[in-house]
Structure 1
Amino acid sequence: MKKILLVFALMTTFITIAQKKNGTIYIEHPAIDVVNSFTQAFVKGDTVKLASLLTDDFKNYNGVSTNPSDKGTDKAKYVKNSYRWFDELDYFSISDFPGAYPDAVEYKEDNKDGEIWVQTWDLLKGVHKETGVKFTSPIHRLIVVTKDNKIKTIINYNNEGIFNELRQSFSDRTNGTIYNHHENINTVRKAVYAFENADLEKALSFYSDDAYFLNINDDLDKPETKDDVKKIRQEFLDAFEITSIDMIGYPDYLEYEMANGRVVMSWWDFHLVRKSDKKKITLPMHISDDFDEDGKIISEILYFNRAALEK
């Protein structure tokens, strides 16, 4: 028992010795007020105010840069570039990320100039005026504020992927081929017309065994399986007589370059008679079918107004 107590005492002493304070964290501080003023000026495009809050030797750094020789952006260039955000984005805003707030850190060691590090966790939002690209991105900033309440350094951490879409949106780019005749279109027609003739077995034979099904009237986070849909569609056939299903226009088969997508989009009028009261119903429907490389339907989503079946 004495040995156990001795070990515990030594561990407690070691833990106590291992801890060492190196400053103070503030939730309220003049440096935070400076950063808030800076952010407001940045969003408003107030370059005069912005420049007044920066030291002459100010530098901005990209926190996710892979360039070990990055010398940062100087004050003049940073102020000029900052205006582009205001000028090129509609609905531009920078706000605290939900649940977050800035901290001001005053380090004790290696801080002979009395500088404060302000850490922010923000949400940047806006819509690019020319391309319509939407920005909704968390950003993290480390900002050094001098004892004269001037910003000396900013290190930005943000998702640069949002700029990829922006850059690509300035020029036209094809993304595959659209067909109005294709074997996958034939497959959709055969599946729909098999259903028109109440041949569920044949209709569902065009789908892969692990296909999933969505309906715009239901929870899109809870897809149905092939077995589920077989029961649902049988219940539909029990409740309605299909007098005909007519194609509207023509289907499109889209074969995408990106992600190798294969989609048939088709439009239909379902002419029905409700068996319970003999009411005639015309139900417009849009069907979107995804295909695998073997020509099987792997997912399907139906767009129609369910209320039209219940009136």
Structure 2
Amino acid sequence: MKKVTILSFILFMAYGYSQKKKNGNIYLEHPALEMVDQMQQAWMAGDDAKVANFLSDDFKSYYGSNVNKDRKGQDKEAFLKQVKSLPEMLSYVSLKPTEGAYPDAIEYKESGTWVQTWDHMKAIHNKTGVKLDMPFHRLYKLDDDGKINTLINYYENRMFWEIGESQTDRKNGTIYNHHDNINSVRRMMGAFENSDFETAYSFLDEDCRFISLELPEGETMDLQQIKKRNEGIWQAYEFNSIDVIGYPDYLEYDLGDAKVVQSWWKFRLTRKSDGKKLTLPAMYIHDFNDEGKIVSSSAYLSTKILDSK
């Protein structure tokens, strides 16, 4: 039985290896790599005349993730117009290989020479200010004369969608200067000023998350942590007054259906250890749920002021 098992394993391995069939060669150094790099840098510079020298007359460019079965691609003339307009559309353009990646030249037995690149592009769109900071994967097919006759692009289209959406004005909800959610924030601050913690915390959802400039990125605090932190602050400082600056805004967004109060405050405190008077400016962004409870609190302030000598 053991001999049969070993023989079966050997036959399986031989069968597995017999399925391999070489279809060409991959090159780390190749004239096509240099040519594609020169073409791409001319493209980023908006040099349509130089780019044209690298393209065949029957050149076509495609977006690789396009699911339209009737797609025709972009011909040479249209592509060169796009290249020429690039400096008018974008500033601070750079295109470099993605960190850790490098281009390949592949000479296929059946379908000729291809170059594949993995690059990272950065730019600022001139009209809208949208920042492009994104990877691109491109496939270039060369004809027998060494010209590029096919370009296939793969990239995340979201940033270009944002550029398109930003071409015209669009409303994204309604701003209120008087609203019950504003009232809730003011009542909460008034309760904190008077050390009425039971009332102050009643405006918060039990699963509320708290964000601060002083927390490490991505970290939040929960309600129990906030209660413990506040207990220490109130033991060390007397809250003389919490005053609103200007007026709060309540924003009801169309996108995401968010309900947000943003407000500006001055905390006037006395440090109990030495009687020093302190003023702490703060901005808050409070997100509300449909039941009128605060589910997220973002604080923009610096508690280093409290350590003033």
- TM category, shorter: over 0.9
* Paired residue type of 1:233: N
Q: How far does residue 146 in structure 1 lie from its aligned partner after superposition? A: 2.9
- Which residue identity is paired with 1:182? H
Unaligned 5+ runs, structure 2: none
Distance 2:301 2:157 in 1: 39
Task: For residue 259 of structure 1, report the CA deviation from its aligned partner.
Answer: 0.2
Structure 2: how far apart are the matches of 1:61 and 1:304?
Answer: 49
Q: Residues of 1 paired with 2:3 and 2:87: CA distance?
A: 70
- Paired residue for 1:273, among 254, 266, 270? 270
On the 8 A contact 1:42/1:86 being kept in 2, the answer is no
The reply to whether residue 154 of structure 1 matches residue 151 of structure 2 is yes
Q: Deviations over 1:71-106 (max 9, x none)?
A: 222111111111222221011122111211111111
Instruction: Report the equivalent of 2:3.
Output: 2
Deviations 1:89-148 (A, max 9, x none): 01112211121111111112x24xxx3110111112211111111112211111012343
Instruction: Quote the residue 1:89 is aligned against.
Output: 90
Q: Which residue of 1 aligns with 2:241?
A: 244
* Inter-partner Cα distance in structure 1 for 2:82 and 2:251: 40
Q: Which residue of 1 aligns with 2:134?
A: 137
Unaligned runs of 5+ in 1: none
TM alignment of 1:1-311, pairs within 5 A: 1-108=2-109, 110-111=110-111, 115-311=112-308
Identity of aligned residues (%): 45
Give, in whole Å, the separation in 1 of the partners of 2:273 and 2:85: 64
Give, in whole Å, the separation in 1 of the partners of 2:6 and 2:162.
62
Distance in 1, Cα, partners of 2:143 & 2:95: 23
**8 Å Cα contact 2:45/2:86 also seen in 1:** no
Distance 1:148 1:170 in 2: 41
What TM-score does the superposition give when structure 2 sets the normalisation length?
0.97
| Number of residue pairs the alignment of both structures matches | 307
Q: Is the 8 A contact 1:252 1:264 kept in 2?
A: yes
Task: Give the aligned residue type for 1:269.
Answer: K
Q: CA offsets per residue over residues 181-239 of structure 1, 9 Å max, x none?
A: 10000100111111111122211111001000011122241100000000001111001
Give secondary structure in 2 for the equivalent of 1:56: strand
RMSD of Structure 2 on Structure 1 (CA): 1.1
Code of the residue aligned with 1:2 in structure 2: it is K
Pick which of 158-167 and 295-304 moved more: 158-167
Q: 1:198 is paired with a residue of what secondary structure?
A: coil
TM-score (norm 1): 0.96
Amino acid across the alignment from 1:294: E
Shift of 1:53: 0.7
- Supply the distance in 2 between the matched residues of 1:171 and 1:77 (Cα, whole angstroms): 25
For 2:114, the aligned partner's letter is W
Letter in 2 for 1:235: G
